[in-house]
Structure 1
């Protein structure tokens, strides 16, 4: 009877895992839509300010620059405050999704503690760059302010200077050079508005893409940390399995995390506190629970380590994980240790040289 009851509980947890992951995926999609609305609405408001600041021929004059930049800064501060509130709410909801997966197998107060500790961890966790979430959000805001103000100031100053220069040519009855004419056009409201759209939303490193990356990463992290916290409160849970998303875009270090049997628990299975998830920002990978009776003798005897597992893989997969041909060569020459696997070659090469390794021969 006890075994049958446990089987039913496991089945319930597995269904809850799928439901929780789907709910967090929907949460992520909702967050991305809300961010898009926020940034596009703000862009329209900023562009309207620029248009209203232009004179009768559509040029923004130096006399309007100070007021205009202050108004833009005010809108960007509103964006910053709104997105901070948004991410706070989404983190809490994602943590609830992850923690409540085990609400049928552990006491409700432990679930609540798991959720609360996950939310706190996401808020306070320092990444490799030493920044907490609040620091990261502030950096996005500062970058937005610097980029947009620079766009406006540069366009207005250069455009107005070109206008002055053009007038001098005209006073001498000389043709205005093409480059002067082009610079004059930089101060037009329409030209500035296009540059602002690029700087705020369209460019690859624009604040819009930066904040999407931060929000997606932290929503996923909140779900995963709460899931891990609750999972290991269940006495029958032995580990969590690192799973690649069906939409995993290309092979990378996640493939190693999902396929190497490092603890004798099975491929990609990690005991409490050892999971490498999330392996990188904006990850699509996730975790599933593994119960003690699911670990086979083959799993226990098949334990390996990072470097031996890497050496047993194809050269193509080794390069996909290590990121550079010379790192692959360094692996086979015995120059790599576990901590170096994720280190970019541009940082690793100087370290190897200091150890006397001739990297040019790799």
Structure 2
């Protein structure tokens, strides 16, 4: 291919790459908005059920508990079905954005295969914890049921028990202890409605935040995998470059992946099948294509490894990447291997002990 023509093709791919990144960012924003609407609507339904189950004093009695929890479970089942369909749909759209980046340079059939392969991989691949996407979605659903049902049952049981105790104090014309009054209020519809909002949406580990994390991670993964699949169908593509988002919030393992020249292709550039992207859930990092004529002699000769790169960083950066002070100490004592860098300390420590290393001394 003539040099000028190849330059034009590369420019076209880069424009398509930027457009695909924007489209997936917009897709992510749309998904988050749709998810927020789903959970807010479900919360309104649950709060309506609670208010409707309360008596004339605004208390949910034990006699209403079983029916109420059954109704709440039904709403949570519907959330699970809806969000599972949402995740699947957004995965396909994100894969299309990534794969179609190269629609002008590779045959349509290969683009289609790249997209289908990425979508299938996202659905079926097992992560380090052994879970597939369907397992993660089920775990979010299971946790939602456990957290909400247990919260309702605890509030109603303790609240009714405290209300009975308060009546006994009143019958004896004695002051009701403040802790009894507070517990009795737990079964009120106002307190229960607030509790449901906290448990379902507001708390840090709420199901809403769990599913946001899953959905955002898999949308990005689908885009990236389809992008990689299509990219390497182009004979001039030699690798993909691990890029930090302009909104990269803090130093972490992504900084290492973006700056180490492992393969002689340049800093953060990885050949087919070797990219560590995505390095963690909810990542903001992304990838760009690298062409063979962009690799310099300096790139080819100045290779590095992760351990050496880490040793050249500040202790703060080392801790940010490794995630544990003892892993930092292991690095300085030359007993941390490259395959331990991303491994949690709870798994690294037994491996070191098996090699006769006193981890208490680290």
Q: Who is 1:27 aligned against?
A: 27
Q: Extract unaligned runs of 5+ from structure 1.
A: none
1:101 aligns with 2:63: no
1:199 aligns with 2:196: no
SS of structure 1 residue aligned to 2:313: coil
Report deviation, 1:63.
0.7
1:274 aligns with 2:271: no
Superposition pairs of residues 24-103 of structure 1, within 5 angstroms? 24-103=24-103
Report deviation, 1:130.
1.1
Q: Who is 1:223 aligned against?
A: 223
Superposition pairs of residues 309-320 of structure 1, within 5 angstroms? 309-320=309-320
Q: Who is 2:323 aligned against?
A: 323
Provide, for residues 122-158 of structure 1, a one-character-per-residue CA deviation record: whole Å limited to 9, x for no partner. 1101111111111111111111111111111001111
Q: Who is 2:357 aligned against?
A: 357
Equivalent-residue separation in structure 2 for 1:28 and 1:219 (angstroms): 7
Moved more, 166-175 or 336-345: 166-175
Segments of 4+ in structure 1 off by > 6 A?
A: none
Report deviation, 1:325.
3.0
Equivalent-residue separation in structure 2 for 1:226 and 1:142 (angstroms): 30
Provide, for residues 309-355 of structure 1, a one-character-per-residue CA deviation record: whole Å limited to 9, x for no partner. 22222333222211233322211211010111112334323432332
Equivalent-residue separation in structure 2 for 1:323 and 1:137 (angstroms): 27
Superposition pairs of residues 281-320 of structure 1, within 5 angstroms? 281-320=281-320
Q: Who is 1:150 aligned against?
A: 150
SS of structure 2 residue aligned to 1:264: coil
Equivalent-residue separation in structure 2 for 1:165 and 1:328 (angstroms): 55
1:344 aligns with 2:344: yes
Equivalent-residue separation in structure 2 for 1:328 and 1:152 (angstroms): 44
Equivalent-residue separation in structure 1 for 2:20 and 2:238 (angstroms): 20
Report deviation, 1:174.
2.3
Q: CA RMSD in A?
A: 1.2
Provide, for residues 162-217 of structure 1, a one-character-per-residue CA deviation record: whole Å limited to 9, x for no partner. 11222222222322222211111110000011111000000000000000000000
Q: Who is 1:332 aligned against?
A: 332
**Count of aligned positions:** 362
SS of structure 1 residue aligned to 2:240: strand
SS of structure 2 residue aligned to 1:240: strand
Equivalent-residue separation in structure 2 for 1:299 and 1:168 (angstroms): 81
Q: Extract unaligned runs of 5+ from structure 2.
A: none
